[in-house]
Structure 1
Amino acid sequence: MTTPPGLPGTGPAAGPTGIPAWTVGDLTISRVDEIPLPARTGPWLLPGATPAVVDQVPWLRPDFADEQSVLRLASHSFAVETAGLRVLVDTGIGNGKTRANPAWHDLDSDFPQRLTRAGFAPEAVDLVVLTHLHTDHVGWNTVQEEGRWVPAFPNARYLTSRTERDFWAGTDMDEARHQMFRDSVHPVEEAGLLDLVDVPDEGAEVAPGVRLLPTPGHTPGQVAVELHSRGERALITGDCIHHPVQLAHPDLSSCVDIDPEGAARTRRRILSSLSGTRTLLLGSHFAPPTAGHVVARGDAHQLVPCAPVDRA
């Protein structure tokens, strides 16, 4: 897959490492890119976000939608060091994996090199937080060695919510999802590296400055990840918000939401809690500039982009 041409002045300014980052208190949150998602992703993922609907939200252009009102989306992870721990949030699609979605099938990206440039070489990662167990969030959990899928982060603990893992354990999955679990989840479990976390309504602190918050709807056990330091806060969405168009239209649900009405309730709750605050919202699939602050706009919300810092 080729990278779409950029738009001058609309993407994040990358530092010398080529890794965009934001500061929250003493924390530096890096975005580690995997791939931009193809234009056809938007109409499939958010079928209600028609060109007519996107046209009603002019602030989406040019960063989050193109001139034809096609949504821009991306696959990336977030990395942060806190209290000496290197933490990675979600692991993208992964290389060389058999996938039903042609855009995800047998990828060959430079994600591990980008991760290393960000200071998070796979063997140095201490904690991998999985917001939920969907294919495009767990793919780099594993890499292939001598014909076997093995944990990509051999010295890390992997975390997901107990509700999430229990849900999939009791679900009659199709072959494509079985394949994903075989190559990206089961090897981590078999290595004894997966920890299941009970996440109450008030959230669960899993490392200094790292808190999991329940955001059910897309999946029953999905979590958002709050990062906090010195009174400042950021929130990584997972898939409770796929695209900024959902700030303007929070009832727009994804075609893969297990509980669309529940997902919309979660979205409204999250947006209301962030509106008018200085909390930085980091979208797990938001195209560059990826991060921003939520402000009220009539009876809905808008994302005001926040440029990343230039990493030295």
Structure 2
Amino acid sequence: MSLKFSVGDLTIHRIIEQETTFLPALDMFPGLAPDALAEHRTWMKQAGALDDSDTLILAFQSYIVKTPHHTILIDSCIGNDKPRPNRPNWNMKTDDTYMRGLAAAGFSVGDIDYVMCTHLHVDHVGWNTRLENGRWVPTFPNARYVFDKTEFDYWTETNGKTEVPPFRDSVLPVVEAGKSEIVRNDFAIGDHARILPTPGHTPGHAAFTFGRGKDDAVFSGDLMHSPIQTLFPELSPKFDVDQAQAAKTRRSFLERYCGTDTLCCTAHFPSPSAGRIKRKGNGFVCEMA
């Protein structure tokens, strides 16, 4: 299983917190017809994306990108000590899997210069903070945390109406500590990291592209959850805030990178999770690295 990739002058590490069954495919994707699932069941299982009961297998992970100038963590996963009663595998977790993965890749929490969040869902912000003496504090003490402004404003408004626990325990403490950067679509870090708006899953969902002068790698976040969505870009999960917009964004993204050398690093595809986009019929495939 590959946990490290090199492309251009970048080194990319995967930090896996969980890789496990999630939801039945027909539940996750309301638009997926049973006969379509049956037709593609074999290759989905061969890809490690589907189990024998037609339940999707997803990875929950962070990526660390080492550029010539910075060490950047993308999406901070699930986290420990967080009350998540709707997800038993995530609720009040206390294991050391994530921190062991970080150490195995050769990093400490103090090594991270930026934490970049594709969006602010529960499984992408969890390790933004850790519990210390009963308080939530930034896990990565030397990092600036990057949040898209549209995304941050959306969750600020939502949390103002009904409390959103992941926003309260994993985002706001970072802001209150003065560690956040609320950014717009022109955001970049030097000549190596840029934001790519990819709305639909959430209003301010963003991918991040890396490379000097070109996109050597792109981190797609929840633009796609499962390989079947490359074959059928119109297939949106029930979690997408705007399913039609997400489908349009997904196809545009896949067209953009189809046939290029850009390494597409997905948030949730099963290991090795990263590959290159190729055309297949009216859809695409991500040929794994």
Instruction: Please give the TM-score of this superposition, normalised by the length of structure 1.
Output: 0.85
Q: Please provide the CA RMSD for this pair.
A: 2.0
Q: Is the counterpart of residue 62 in structure 1 residue 46 in structure 2?
A: yes
Partner of residue 108 from structure 2, selected from 82, 97, 121 = 121
Amino acid at match of 2:217: A
Q: Is the counterpart of residue 159 in structure 1 residue 146 in structure 2?
A: yes
- Aligned mates of 1:206, 1:112 — CA distance in 2: 26
Deviations 1:106-130 (A, max 9, x none): 1233201211221221111110001
Q: Find the counterpart in structure 2 of residue 264 from structure 1.
A: 247
Partner of residue 252 from structure 1, selected from 235, 243, 265 = 235
**SS where residue 171 of structure 1 aligns?**
helix
The residue correspondences of 1:237-248 to structure 2 (distance < 5 A) are 237-248=220-231
Q: Find the counterpart in structure 1 of residue 28 from structure 2.
A: 45
Partner of residue 301 from structure 1, selected from 273, 284, 287 = 284
- Aligned mates of 1:262, 1:232 — CA distance in 2: 23
Q: Find the counterpart in structure 2 of residue 189 from structure 1.
A: 175
Report the alpha carbon displacement of residue 198 of structure 1 after superposing the two structures with TM. 0.7
Report the alpha carbon displacement of residue 60 of structure 1 after superposing the two structures with TM. 2.5
- Aligned mates of 1:37, 1:229 — CA distance in 2: 35
Greater RCO between the two (CA within 8 Å, min separation 6)? 1
- Aligned mates of 2:35, 2:284 — CA distance in 1: 18
Partner of residue 125 from structure 2, selected from 129, 138, 158 = 138
Amino acid at match of 1:205: A
The alpha-carbon distance between structure 1 residues 123 and 54, as it changes in their structure 2 partners (threshold 3 A), is same
Q: Find the counterpart in structure 2 of residue 9 from structure 1.
A: none
**SS where residue 136 of structure 2 aligns?**
strand
- Aligned mates of 1:34, 1:88 — CA distance in 2: 14
Amino acid at match of 2:94: D
Partner of residue 71 from structure 1, selected from 41, 56, 65 = 56
Amino acid at match of 1:40: L
How many residues are matched? 285
Amino acid at match of 1:260: Q
Q: Find the counterpart in structure 2 of residue 23 from structure 1.
A: 6
Report the alpha carbon displacement of residue 229 of structure 1 after superposing the two structures with TM. 4.3
Amino acid at match of 1:71: L
**SS where residue 91 of structure 2 aligns?**
coil
Amino acid at match of 1:169: T
Conserved in 2, the CA contact under 8 Å of 1:36 and 1:74? yes
Amino acid at match of 2:82: K
Partner of residue 156 from structure 2, selected from 169, 174, 188 = 169
Q: Find the counterpart in structure 2 of residue 310 from structure 1.
A: none
Conserved in 1, the CA contact under 8 Å of 2:158 and 2:164? no
**Mean CA deviation greater in 52-61 or 70-79:** 52-61
**SS where residue 108 of structure 1 aligns?**
coil
Conserved in 2, the CA contact under 8 Å of 1:213 and 1:223? yes
Deviations 1:143-199 (A, max 9, x none): 011111111011100001111111112225675x52212211111011000101111
Identity %: 39
- Aligned mates of 1:145, 1:128 — CA distance in 2: 19
Instruction: Please give the TM-score of this superposition, normalised by the length of structure 2.
Output: 0.92
**Mean CA deviation greater in 102-111 or 269-278:** 102-111
Q: Is the counterpart of residue 103 in structure 1 residue 86 in structure 2?
A: no
- Aligned mates of 2:159, 2:110 — CA distance in 1: 34
Amino acid at match of 1:197: V
Conserved in 2, the CA contact under 8 Å of 1:77 and 1:89? yes
Report the alpha carbon displacement of residue 51 of structure 1 after superposing the two structures with TM. 5.2
